[in-house]
Amino acid sequence: MRVLGLGGSKATDSQVKHLSSLLENPSCKLEILDLTNCSIGEEGFTALASALRSNPSHMRKLWLKGSKATDSGVKHLSSLLEDPSCKLEILELAGCKLTEKSCELVASVLLSPNSLIELDLSENNLGYSGVQLLSKGLSNPLCRLQTLRLTGCKLTEKSCEHVASVLQSPNSLMELDLKDNELTDSGAL
């Protein structure tokens, strides 16, 4: 099996821990895991990151939209993404109650060699400070990220300064989604 879709199943931490024990198996070749809108908290994220660290070479896409990732869950995923053997390319963390602290962790991932090419942080309260931290990682020449979604992240006109610095730096970014923020016309200038 290459794809497992459990989105909307309301999988809990204990169920994800059980799934993680299967993911650790070297014969598991799962490439895409959809856990959208599941009830995964810190225990689930710890187990998932540990499993993917044990068997990192196959997973390419991980959708965790609407989970209870919070900053502690992102910490576990960040350490996984910084592992050179991790091949995860697409990570969706939209609507996961992330804050500025998560942006600091994600920025450290973007500053390290990794396989991440698409990241969705939409519908999180990242604000100005979060974008400031992300811009440091995005401006790194090693950053391979091609798509970044920041829809509805409470960004304001002030955030545009950092967005502009990213757009002016040499990077791989081809798509930047800033819909549903409060950038205003003067921020776009």
* Model confidence pLDDT, tens digit, residues 136-186: 999 888 889 999 999 999 898 889 888 888 888 888 899 999 999 988 766
pLDDT attached to residue 185: 62
110 inside domain: no
pLDDT digits (tens, 9 = 90+) for 21-46: 999 999 999 999 999 999 898 899 99
Positive or negative, the CA dihedral 112, 139, 49, 147 is negative
Same domain, 64 and 127: no
Same domain, 84 and 125: no
What is the three-class DSSP state of 78? helix
Q: How many domains does the chain have?
A: 2
107 inside domain: no
Same domain, 82 and 7: yes
User: Which residues constitute the domain of residue 43?
Assistant: 1-95
pLDDT digits (tens, 9 = 90+) for 42-83: 899 999 999 999 988 799 999 999 998 888 889 999 999 998
Q: Which helix (H) or strand (E) holds 186?
A: helix 184-188
Same domain, 136 and 58: no
What pTM value is reported for the model?
0.92
User: Under a CB-based contact definition with an 8 Å cutoff, are residues 17 and 24 in contact?
Assistant: no
Same domain, 5 and 61: yes
Confidence of residue 187 (pLDDT cuts 50, 70, 90): low
Q: Which of 5, 47, 52, 49 is nearest to 25 (CA)?
A: 52
pLDDT attached to residue 59: 94
Same domain, 59 and 13: yes
142 inside domain: yes
pLDDT attached to residue 188: 55
pLDDT digits (tens, 9 = 90+) for 117-143: 999 999 999 988 999 999 999 988 888
22 inside domain: yes
Q: Which of 95, 127, 151 is the last residue of a domain?
A: 95
Confidence of residue 95 (pLDDT cuts 50, 70, 90): very high
67 inside domain: yes
Same domain, 81 and 140: no
Any idea what the CATH number is for the domain that residue 70 is in? 3.80.10.10
User: Under a CB-based contact definition with an 8 Å cutoff, are residues 50 and 79 in contact?
Assistant: no
Q: Where are the beta strands (DSSP E) in 19-98?
A: 32-34, 61-63, 90-92
d(CA 70, CA 89): 21
Same domain, 43 and 122: no
111 inside domain: no
The single residue listed with the structure tokens 């908290």 is 41
Confidence of residue 189 (pLDDT cuts 50, 70, 90): very low
d(CA 46, CA 69): 10
Q: Kindly tell me if the per-residue pLDDT of 20 is higher than 60.
A: yes
8 inside domain: yes
105 inside domain: no
Same domain, 77 and 1: yes
The rounded Cα 155 to chain-centroid distance in angstroms is 18
Same domain, 67 and 123: no
Q: Which of 95, 129, 156 is the last residue of a domain?
A: 95
42-54 and 70-81 helices, crossing angle to 10°: 10
